């Protein structure tokens, strides 16, 4: 098949044409030849510079391009990290400003291993918070490699990317990805699904049941799932799940200490007198007070260590999460009016940290 005239142009001409088109991705999507010829680190970096910063001011075009960029094969964790370093190193912070320009809590170098350790707030947002597009399929499906978990965690922490829940394929993909995280016994991946509401609904006792009966999960995963269930539960939750108690009793009958351990936590939740606790405390702290003793019990009888990670994704107070969220939204709205930057509210709503 003969090549079109534009496909025969030397790369020295193709690159400026692509730039002059406003890095129009339709150009590379329309022709495999053009796509291949424009596949270089130089072009990828320039395309990211255009769409992942605020150079492109057409929201719809920018958002669609951002989704396409993150879905691209070339957008790997390794490439993204190098682009981040190249883009923000001169400022010395992911907020994109230096100390003279208003940065007051420089987050540098970026913690790519554990993104949630980086501190941001409504008055100190990462520049990438304005990136509002779709999380790509490749970051929602198994296998849950450590690289994939780190990439997804970083994007959830510094951008406003979301799953396209209206797309039935994406819905199924995210649901299956979550199931596989449990089946792979991958604590870090499970933590993301359990604790970040952009990845779906909170876990329930049914999720805990799946973790113990179907996925044979380790204690750390069961603890995190039960803690997240508690965090988002209503005061009407009874913690009397017949299937779970039955599973515990069968395990106890077979001298499996895991049954005793889980039953101890469920009974602690069932009989916990919440009224005696300081209601201003966060739910995770309450959970620890209620089940802490039961969770730590029989430790020397297990082969696996109980890993309890403090996760900063959601901090829901016991009194009234709804009031807390409304207050958060109101504060954000004021900030929105002052700053006139729409992405600030999107970022805050996506990561309620009441």
Contacts to Zn ion by CB under 5 A: 93, 95, 103
Q: What angle do CA 322, 328, 331 make, to 5 degrees?
A: 145
Taking the least distance from each CB to Zn ion, the nearer of 126 and 203 is 126
Rounded to whole angstroms, the Cα distance separating 336 from 349 reads: 12
Q: Which is nearer to Zn ion, 44 or 157 (CB)?
A: 157
In angstroms, give the least distance from the CB of 273 to Zn ion. Answer: 44
What are the distances in angstroms from CA 214 to CA 21, 185, 290? 52, 11, 26
CB 309 within 8 A of CB 116: no
Burial readout 279-292 (b: 16 or more C-beta within 10 A, e: otherwise): eeeebbbbbbbbbe
Residue 92 beta carbon to Zn ion: minimum distance, rounded to whole angstroms: 8
Rounded Cα distance, 21 and 43, in Å:
13
Question: Which CB sits closer to Zn ion, 93 or 244?
Answer: 93
**Minimum CB distance to Zn ion smaller for 125 or for 244:** 125
Measuring CA to CA, which residue among 214, 287, 297, 312 is closest to residue 262?
A: 297
Asked if residues 261 and 298 have their Cβ atoms less than 8 Å apart, the reply is yes
CB of 127 to Zn ion, least distance (A): 9
Strand partners, 162: 134
Task: Specify the residue, 100 or 310, whose C-beta has the smaller distance to Zn ion.
Answer: 100
Residue 291 and residue 283 in contact, taking contact as beta carbons nearer than 8 Å = no
Tell me whether residue 78 or residue 98 sits nearer to Zn ion (CB atom): 98
d(CA 189, CA 22): 37
Reading the block at residue 333, the tokens are 């709205």
Instruction: State the minimum distance, in angstroms, from the CB of residue 94 to Zn ion.
Output: 7
Angle between helices 257-271 and 283-296 (to 10 degrees): 140
What minimum distance in Å lies between the beta carbon of 93 and Zn ion? 3
Q: How far is the CB of 109 from Zn ion (least distance, A)?
A: 13
* Residue closer to Zn ion, measured from CB, 93 or 248: 93
| CB 206, min distance to Zn ion, A | 42
List Cα–Cα distances, 173 to 63, 179, 200, in angstroms: 21, 10, 12
Question: Based on CB atoms, which residue is closest to Zn ion, 12 or 100?
Answer: 100
Give the nearest distance from C-beta 95 to Zn ion in angstroms: 3
Tell whether the torsion through CA atoms of 211, 217, 223 and 225 is positive or negative: negative
């Amino acid at each position: 098949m003969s090549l079109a005239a534009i496909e025969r142009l030397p790369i020295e001409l193709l690159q400026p044409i692509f730039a002059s088109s406003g890095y129009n991705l339709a150009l590379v999507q329309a022709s495999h030849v053009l796509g291949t010829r424009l596949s270089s680190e130089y072009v990828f970096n320039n395309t990211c510079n255009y769409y992942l910063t605020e150079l492109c001011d057409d929201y719809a075009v920018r958002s669609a391009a951002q989704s396409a960029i993150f879905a691209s094969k070339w957008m790997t964790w390794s490439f993204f990290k190098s682009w981040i370093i190249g883009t923000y190193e001169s400022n010395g912070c992911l907020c994109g400003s230096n100390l003279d320009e208003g940065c007051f809590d420089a987050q540098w170098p970026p913690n790519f291993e554990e993104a949630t350790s980086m501190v941001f707030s409504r008055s100190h947002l990462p520049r990438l918070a304005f990136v509002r597009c779709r999380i790509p399929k490749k970051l929602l499906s198994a296998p849950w490699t450590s690289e994939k978990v780190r990439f997804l965690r970083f994007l959830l922490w510094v951008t406003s990317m979301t799953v396209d829940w209206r797309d039935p394929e994406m819905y199924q993909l995210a649901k299956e990805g979550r199931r596989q995280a449990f089946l792979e016994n991958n604590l870090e991946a499970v933590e993301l699904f359990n604790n970040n509401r952009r990845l779906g609904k909170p876990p329930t006792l049914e999720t805990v049941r799946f973790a113990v009966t179907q996925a044979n999960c380790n204690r750390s995963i069961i603890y995190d799932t039960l803690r997240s269930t508690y965090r988002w539960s209503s005061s009407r939750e009874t913690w009397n799940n017949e299937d779970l108690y039955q599973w515990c009793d069968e395990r106890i009958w077979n001298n499996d200490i895991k049954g005793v351990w889980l039953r101890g936590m469920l009974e602690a939740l069932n009989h916990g007198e919440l009224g005696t606790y300081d209601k201003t405390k966060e739910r995770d702290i309450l959970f620890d007070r209620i089940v802490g003793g039961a969770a730590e019990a029989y430790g020397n009888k297990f082969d696996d260590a109980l890993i309890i990670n403090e996760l900063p994704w959601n901090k829901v107070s016991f009194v009234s999460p709804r009031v807390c969220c409304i207050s958060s939204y109101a504060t954000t709205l004021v900030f929105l009016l002052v700053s006139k930057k729409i992405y600030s509210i999107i970022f805050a709503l996506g990561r309620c940290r009441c």
